[in-house]
Amino acid sequence: MLRAHRGNRPVKHRSALALSAALPALLIGLAAPLHAQDQTDPDPEGGEVKTSRIPVIVVTATKREQTLQETPVAVSVVSADEIEQAEIQDLIDLQTLVPSLAVRQGQTSGNATFFIRGFGNGQNAIGLEPSVGVFIDGVYRSRSAAAISDLPNLERVEVLRGPQSTLFGKNASAGVISVTTRKPQFDFEGRFESSYGNFDQRRIEAYVTGPLTENLAASLSGNYNSRDGFFEDLGTGEDYNQRDRWGVRGDILWEPSLDISFRLIADYDKIDEVCCGVTNLIEGPTGVNIRAVGGQFVSEDPFSYEVFYDVAPANEIENSGVSLQGDFDLGFAALTSITAFRSNTNDSNFDADVTDLSLFSAVSQQSEIETFTQEVRLQSVGAGNFIDWTIGGYYFDERLEAANQIFNGPDYRPYLDSLLGSPQVLLNLTNLITQTTGTAPPTLGGAGQGITDNSRQDNTAWSIFGTVDLNLTDRLTATFGISYTEDEKEVSLNAVSTEALSAQNLDQLGYAATLSQLLVGRGVNPTNPAQVGGFIQANPQVYAQLQQQALVVARGPNNPFNALRALQPFPQFLSFPNAVEDGRSNDSSTDFTARLAYEVTDNINVYASYATGFKATSWNLSRQSRPFAADFTAGNPVFDRFTQRPVFVTPSSPITDAGLNRVNLLPGTRFAGPEDSEVYELGLKTTFDRLSFNLTVFDQTITNFQTNVFTDNGFVLANAAEQSTFGVEFDFTWNPYAGLILSGGATFLDPVYDSFPNFGAGIDVSGQQPQGIAETQFSMAANYGFTIGSLDAFVRADWQHIGDSPFFDDPAQEAIIDAFDYTREQNLINASLGIRTAKGFAVALWARNLFDDEYLVFASPTVLQAGSFSGAPGQPRTYGVTLRRSF
């Protein structure tokens, strides 16, 4: 919630909290007049017994069907009914119901990051693979842009918390989101629903299934989701943060015998949206320069949802894929094979400067990803075995191509002149360059100059895995799991910068200007080569001293051109592979799971476990990729034009010695090395007739956690030496009487960078709370189902709380934004109510963020506007009506 710089907008946070606290009591009060008697079943021996109101939930968290109560893993499950009644639109909304899950939408439609227990990373850098694996019907989705589409006909969503690398073959070091859709049915049935909401939202979903032959069934589904944006461009009148996405899905189930089944799924979906709005949070000193050259922006009022842009933030994403799952009952074991091919293309552009100036005429990103996966596993079958086992293998093959472009716009040069106080500064610099080099440079800051990069990554990985459950007694089970993974990447990245100002060697220019002043002080005209030559010949030692004085100035804080260094965003780039850097990584890991589970009673289970996880190297496929310090020592060469000899030579390093040095090249990172995770966990699971309660205490650590650090114009990959979280999670479902279900959960975290000394720019953030990770996250829901005559009805409300967290890891940046009292704290209240007839007609009213809670999703420094910060506010209140017909 914003408490400053908000005009006349009211503060709503306290009222939302008070209302959320009263919701369960309110719903119970509404339900009381409609209270139905508990349902009963006949007792075979006479009399009646109460029917259990807590449903039995089957999950596949261990790649084996078990009830949630029996599964000794920290897993949250959201059913299709709950998704429907809570009006969950996509995976981004899922965090409403799962306290340990957080989802953050970035500056484009396909830029979403999933966090479990505070660990997660992802899409801002295309080469940074997520630490939370998303699997849909057993098929891995390697990037979030391939996982956020609307999915009709869900059966359930499982969120597995903690490292899952033993059984899941790729990027599950922080957890897994596993989505299961409903199989085709051999009875003809279907569903159609249509929604209309504010912002002119129109959402349609359709599903039909039935038999084609005696042993062949099929289903076909489709969805369409359209909505106007809630951001308004005051200059053009356009609206941003739209929804415009659709998809189709075909599913065939063939069961030629009782022992064999095949499931073939093909899907296609497309997103074509103008999204996402980013607005000014803090106006720095450059705001006056933006206005001086005619620019406009909405200053420090993010919850007005108003902006001025010159480039609409457009996104076009296409996903398609086909998978084939075969299941075979071999008698002694069950064999499962899942083969899949998926394709994802992404084309987006956005307004980097967040004003209506054309500082940049284009900021665009494109990517194309093709992925092939194959999983095979063999599992023991039968009940009452002393040993239950699973063995399997996984293969992953992906080709990724990406491109990025950013070019100066026509307003860029006037903006630079305003920053420097006069057009004469760059004109004088141009004259000095011409005088020093003998060649006039291109227009400094000229329109059309910029940088383009193209990258490619070929990634193959494979793993073998196995688990053994030793049923030591009818109540005590010991589990041991092991997996071995190899992951190999071959990467190429080529970037070309045509930005003239960024190409200038300011050390060289500072040397030339200082030397000229020193010569003038000696009575020598530096524009007269003959006079300078005579002075050097007559005074060689004096001239050598002047050279060293000029060199110290050029390479120190008194260089007269130092202010221009901040205006060199796109320096010359060293592409790779090259003679020093081969662009290859090859990682391997052996991961373990050890667990002891004990069934205390038929209703109470406890377990203790230890598990490790792994994620391979992630490469920086962007213009911010730099050679490692071990390969390159920075230093621009300085040349004396009068003696035609160097006065400073770039220090020796493999890059320099190979003749690969570039002007203004700096060391950095090419990739973030592999991360390893481990977790110690104690769990309690209980299920009674009308109450289930789960409690988990864990201590989770990721070594070399992969993270991305935003600089002024891009992302740098880095490894935090160690990040850990001690936490407590609990969730419950309570059915106090027939029809009423109260549910909820909470996560309490103590996240910290145990060691992160190389954050960047000499900053050590060890001991800090990582940015974006809240210490508390709660959810509470009340759902009451009842009848009105022949109609089934329900009323539901839920509250989601996510505590505040830092916006930045950099203490200086965090201090600036803290002074403005912005917050990431969320208190969202959602509500819905509906009725259904016996013939399958239904209508529901719903609202999300009912009380219009105001919070920020993220913040970042504004490109080339020192002291200014931009960010994205959360989605405002949405509401609507949904009509359904089931048959």
* Per-residue pLDDT tens over the stretch 58-101: 778 778 778 777 788 888 888 888 888 877 777 677 777 888 88
Q: What whole-number distance in Å separates Cα of residue 125 and Cα of residue 123?
A: 5
- At 340 the three-state DSSP class reads strand
**Model confidence at 124: pLDDT above 70:** no
**Model confidence at 9: pLDDT above 80:** no
Q: Tell me the percentage of the chain whose pLDDT exceeds 70.
A: 92
pLDDT band at 641 (very low <50, low <70, confident <90, very high): very high
In this predicted model, which residue has the larger pLDDT, 5 or 394?
394
- At 748 the three-state DSSP class reads strand
Residue 546 one-letter amino acid: L
Q: What whole-number distance in Å separates Cα of residue 55 and Cα of residue 733?
A: 10
Task: Please confirm whether the linkage preceding 577 is cis (ω < 30° from 0).
Answer: yes
- Chain-centroid distance of CA 48 in Å reads 52
**Category of 840 on φ-ψ map: left (φ > 0), alpha (ψ -120 to 50) or beta:** left
CA dihedral sign, ordered 288, 291, 295, 298: positive
The string over 299-309, giving b where at least 16 C-beta atoms fall within 10 Å of a residue's C-beta and e elsewhere, is: ebbbbbbebbb
What average pLDDT does the segment 633-662 reach? 95
Q: What is the pLDDT of residues 15-24, one digit of tens each?
A: 333 333 343 3
Q: What whole-number distance in Å separates Cα of residue 716 and Cα of residue 713?
A: 10
In this structure, the chain runs to a length of 887
Query: What's the pLDDT score for residue 147?
Result: 62
What average pLDDT does the segment 401-426 reach? 94
**Model confidence at 463: pLDDT above 50:** yes
Query: What's the pLDDT score for residue 38?
Result: 41
**Model confidence at 603: pLDDT above 70:** yes
Query: What's the pLDDT score for residue 555?
Result: 94
List the structure tokens of 86. 């809570």
**Model confidence at 774: pLDDT above 80:** yes
What average pLDDT does the segment 387-400 reach? 96
Q: What is the pLDDT of residues 336-386, one digit of tens each?
A: 999 999 999 999 988 888 999 999 887 888 999 999 999 999 999 977 789
665 and 633 Cβ atoms separated by less than 8 Å: no
Query: What's the pLDDT score for residue 601?
Result: 94
Nearest to 203 by CA among 243, 175, 260, 162: 243
**Model confidence at 26: pLDDT above 60:** no
Q: What is the pLDDT of residues 231-288, one digit of tens each?
A: 999 988 999 999 999 999 999 999 999 999 999 999 999 999 998 899 999 999 999 9
- Residue 686: C-alpha distances to residues 348, 449, 680 (Å): 47, 64, 20
532 and 625 Cβ atoms separated by less than 8 Å: no
Q: What is the pLDDT of residues 183-217, one digit of tens each?
A: 999 999 999 999 999 999 999 999 999 999 999 99
**Model confidence at 671: pLDDT above 70:** yes
List the structure tokens of 340. 């899949």
pLDDT band at 53 (very low <50, low <70, confident <90, very high): low
Q: What whole-number distance in Å separates Cα of residue 135 and Cα of residue 151?
A: 13
Q: What is the pLDDT of residues 560-600, one digit of tens each?
A: 999 899 899 899 999 999 999 999 999 999 999 999 999 99
**Model confidence at 502: pLDDT above 70:** yes
Query: What's the pLDDT score for residue 93?
Result: 78
In this predicted model, which residue has the larger pLDDT, 497 or 125?
497
Terminal CA-to-CA distance of the chain, rounded, Å? 45
The per-residue pLDDT of the chain, averaged, comes to: 88
21 and 829 Cβ atoms separated by less than 8 Å: no
CA dihedral sign, ordered 91, 92, 93, 95: positive
- Residue 111: C-alpha distances to residues 121, 146, 671, 797, 870 (Å): 11, 10, 20, 29, 17
182 and 157 Cβ atoms separated by less than 8 Å: no
**Model confidence at 453: pLDDT above 90:** yes
140 and 396 Cβ atoms separated by less than 8 Å: yes
Q: Give the number of other Cβ atoms within 10 Å of residue 267's Cβ.
A: 21
DSSP state of 295: -
**Model confidence at 44: pLDDT above 50:** no
Q: What is the pLDDT of residues 128-170, one digit of tens each?
A: 888 888 899 999 988 776 666 666 688 888 888 988 888 887 8
Beta-sheet strands, E only, within 435-583: 450-471, 476-497
Query: What's the pLDDT score for residue 385?
Result: 85
pLDDT band at 108 (very low <50, low <70, confident <90, very high): confident
Angle, CA of 52, 56 and 59, to the nearest 5°: 170
Angle, CA of 397, 403 and 404, to the nearest 5°: 140
Q: What whole-number distance in Å separates Cα of residue 637 and Cα of residue 751?
A: 44
Contacts of 269 (CB under 8 A, 6+ apart): 149, 150, 223, 245, 246, 247, 248, 318, 319, 320
Q: What whole-number distance in Å separates Cα of residue 272 and Cα of residue 226?
A: 10
**Model confidence at 123: pLDDT above 70:** no
Q: Tell me the percentage of the chain whose pLDDT exceeds 90.
A: 72
Query: What's the pLDDT score for residue 704?
Result: 93
List the structure tokens of 725. 């979280």
